[in-house]
Amino acid sequence: MKSQPSIKLIQEFEQERPYHVAFSGGKDSIVMYHLVKRAKVKHQAYFYVSTVDPPEVTRFV
């Protein structure tokens, strides 16, 4: 599976503190979020609510 090297790398760099995953609702953020979840490492996802985000994105997130 193509994602396995990325998952392994995420696991190798895991530290005591959780990863901080910036989540915008875009395709890159979705992929990173799923990779971190599949790696089963400690993480926190963050979404910054702003007035420039379309309502569809805010509802999705």
CA distance 12 to 8: 6
CA distance 29 to 35: 10
The residue among 25 and 53 whose pLDDT is bigger is 25
Q: Which pLDDT does position 56 carry in this prediction? A: 82
CA distance 25 to 57: 6
- Give pLDDT tens digits for 45-59: 998 777 777 778 777
Q: How many domains does the chain have?
A: 1
CA distance 51 to 30: 21
- Strand, coil or helix: 19: strand
